[in-house]
Each structure stands twice: as C-alpha cells, then as structure tokens.
Chain A
Amino acid sequence: MAVVAEPSKKLVCWSCGSENDADAQFCASCGKLQPYTPTDYFAFFGLPRRFQLDTASLERQFYRLSRKFHPDLYARASSEEQRWSLEKSSVLNDAWRTLRDPLARTEYALGLAGIRLEEQSRDASDRAAENGTAKQQVVPPDLLEEVFELNMQLEEMRMAKASGADDPETRGSLEAAKQNFDSQMKTSEQDLQRLWSEWDAAAETDDGETQQAAQQKMVDLLNRRSYIRNLLRDVEEALKN
C-alpha cells in the first residue's frame, strides 16, 4: 500500500494556467476553485495518511473549507464551478465526520489499506466454500469462548433478575459485569492509540512489516470491541429494567 502520497503530479489551473500541487483545492495564483477529483479523505484535507490526527486543527480546517466551498459563493460562477463547490462541500462533510471520530477513522484507514471490516466474515465464508473447508473464523477461538461464556453468565443474571426478586446479589454481579466491560472498552481505546503510533512510526520509515502487524492487531481489537459493546448494551439493559 502506498503510505505516502505519490510524488505529486502538478495540477494546472483551468482558469489561469499556473501550476499547483496535485491536491490543491484552490489555485495558488488566481484563487479559483479547482475541479473535484475523487481522492481519499486524508488527501482531501491535504493530510498524510496516518491514524493519529490533530482533531483540533482538523476542525479549524473543516470550518475554513466549509466557508470557502460554500455553494452560495458560486451562485454567479460557471456551472462547473457550481458543481465542484457542491461536490467538495459534500465530500468535506463526509471526510470530517469520518476523520474526527477515532473509530470511524481507524476503520476508514484500514479500508484504505485493503481491510474491509464489514466484509471479513463473508470473505472468509466465500474462501471456505471455494476450498470446501470449514471457515476460518475471523476472531480467535478463545475470544469466542470467552464471549460465549460471558453471554451465558449475563443471561443467568438477567433471568435471576427477571424471576421476581431484584436481589442485591444479582444486581451486584450485573454491576460488576458492567464495570468489567466498561474497563475493557477503556483499555481497548488505550491499546488502539498505542497501535496507531506503532503504525504511524512505521509509516515514516516505510516499515511495511510492522504496519501489517499493527493493522492485524487493530482488526482483532475492533472485533473484540464489537462483542464487548454488545455485552455492555445487554448488561445496561438488564440493569435498567
């Protein structure tokens, strides 16, 4: 995967003919809006493709560009410019929503690296069907065991609670379970940040192997998180009733 943007081709301004950086949104000489060319969200903001990101500066950049792309400014411009301003405004919103959120950003950046989180299970099924083998599960077996076990315990607690007496003991175990899941979610956030910096540092030195390893760990972490998130949701539900 190309980690750093390709040695950029130049963008020639359609209006004044001066040369600009390939990902320029406006011409540096005449200030005219440049055509919209589909690009990834990092490049759209002129950022290197990294997991760690200064969201405060991203936010400032977002508001600045929102104003500059605003379709109202192009009401009297050519129809091409009107179209570009609309396209860019819309991509800007998507890019901002994705990049500002740590998890959405992680999934997005993994997607750019060719990892489709949503599809991994189906991909594994397809491979299994092709080879006639049992499917390689996308999560490690011990995690499945653990999640299954946690679900069993949770179900017992919920049934105990539902069967009349809201006894303090059951409530206590539910509270403890909630605390456990909460802290696992927190730990996973810290782990994720550590993996981000591993990957980013490796990207600086073109260390593809370390990047691959960090990516795989991020996938495992996100899979684990989605199980814990469901357990947390169930335990909160049980405590509410």
Chain B
Amino acid sequence: MAYSDKVIEHYNNPRNVGQMDKNSTEVGTGLVGAPECGDVMRLQIKVNPETRVIEDAKFKTFGCGSAIASSSLATEWVKGKTVDEALEIKNTDIVKELALPPVKIHCSVLAEDAIRAAIGDWKKKNVVEGQAVSTPVAVAAN
C-alpha cells in the first residue's frame, strides 16, 4: 500500500515528538491504543489556565506510519486552539488531510481518541469553575 506524500512527510519529520510532565496541572495526557493492530499513542497538551488555549502539544506513538502521521498532525492542529475548539477536531478531518486509505482510518480514530482523552485528563485535573465538566467518570485518562 502506498502512503500519501503527507503521511510520508509527517512520518519522516514528525512534529512535536516528546513528553511533558504528566503530573503538572496544566498538562493533560491521553494514552490510547488499538489492540487489533497493537498501536499505542500518547498525546499531551499544555493548557493555559486563564484562556483555556492549548499552548503546546507533544506526542509519542508506537505504530504504523499512518498512526504516527495522524498523531503528529493532531498535535499541530490542537496547538493554538481552546480545549473546546480542539474537541471539534474529527477523525474524518485527519483522514481527508492525510488522504488515508480505508484500512488506515482507525489510525485517525486513534488520534481523535487521544485528543479527547488528553482534554478529559486536563479537565479532570482542573474542574473548571462555572462550567460543568461532563461525566468525570467517563473521562478517565486511559
């Protein structure tokens, strides 16, 4: 199967690979996996507590080229967005941007899951005043 140029580009030059202090209250960590292909993806965001803007994002993914490209792209996209804007990112946007073939769609799903999980973790750490944080039980950072 041929990867698109954009996938190859992200794969060769992944953006924002790395790690942030997961104990920091400003950092939200999402660790997600897809057992059917054995991929694991960790995506972290650093959120400004005042503006709720995601100021930095890092990822580390063990998986195929599409999974790496999807998470690389996800970190690029969430940066500069507020957490609520970031929640609007859909896996289909990633599919379109990277021209992922049908068999690789689950990689983009994983990236969307990772964003939601990271934001969920951040929200859990920062029960935002005046704003109900939805279902704290379900947003466990797994």
Contact = CB atoms under 8 A, between A and B. Distances in A.
Given A122-B106, A148-B42, A133 B135 contact: yes
Contacts of B32: 135, 137, 144
Interface string B108-120: 0100110011011
Interface of A: 117-118, 120-122, 125, 128, 131-141, 144-145, 147-148, 151-152, 155, 222-224, 226-227, 229-231
A121 B42 contact: no
Interface centre among B112, B116, B134 (most CB of A within 10 A): B116
Nearest to B39: A230
A134 B117 contact: yes
21 contacts: A120-B35, A121-B109, A128-B138, A132-B134, A134-B113, A134-B117, A134-B120, A134-B138, A134-B140, A135-B116, A137-B142, A141-B142, A144-B40, A148-B42, A148-B62, A155-B62, A223-B35, A226-B37, A230-B37, A230-B38, A231-B38
Give the interface size bracket for B toward A: 20 to 34
A136 B62 contact: no
B8 interface: no
Contacts of B139: 133-134
Contact of A118 (B36, B109, B120, B138): B36
B116 A139 contact: no
B113 A125 contact: yes
* Residue of A137, A138, A224, A231 with most partner-chain B CB within 10 A: A137
Contacts of B86: none
A206 B119 CA distance: 44
B14 interface: no
Pick from B31, B33, B60, B117 the residue with the most CB of A within 10 Å: B33
B33 A147 contact: yes
Nearest to A143: B33
B83 to A, nearest CB: 12
A226 B117 contact: no
Contact of A135 (B36, B40, B117): B117
Nearest to B120: A134
Contacts of A117: 36
A144 B33 contact: yes
Contacts of A229: 38
Nearest to A135: B113
A151 B109 contact: no
Contacts of A125: 109, 112-113
Contacts of A141: 31, 140-142
Given A128-B116, A144-B40, A136 B138 contact: yes
Contacts of A230: 37-38
A143 B62 CA distance: 14
Contacts of A152: 60
A227 B35 contact: yes
Given A133-B138, A137-B113, 14 more contacts: A121-B34, A128-B113, A128-B138, A136-B142, A139-B35, A141-B31, A144-B33, A144-B142, A151-B40, A151-B62, A155-B62, A223-B35, A230-B38, A231-B38
